[in-house]
Amino acid sequence: MISAGDFRNGITIEVDSNIFQIIEFQHVKPGKGAAFVRTKLKNIINGGVVEKTFRPTEKFPQARIDRKDMQYLYSDGDLFTFMDMETYDQVALNAETVGDTLKFVKENEICKVCSHNGSVFAVEPPLFVELEITDTEPGFKGDTATGASKPATVETGAVVYVPLFVNQGDKIKIDTRTGDYLSRA
Mind listing the domains of the chain with CATH numbers? 2-60 (2.30.30.30), 65-124 (2.40.50.140), 128-184 (2.40.50.140)
pLDDT tens sequence across 42-53? 888 777 889 999
SS3 state of residue 11? coil
In angstroms, rounded to a whole number, what is the distance separating the alpha carbons of residues 103 and 185? 19
pLDDT tens sequence across 132-153? 888 888 866 665 566 778 888 9
Q: Per the confidence metrics, is the pTM higher than 0.75?
A: no
Q: What is the pLDDT of residue 20?
A: 87
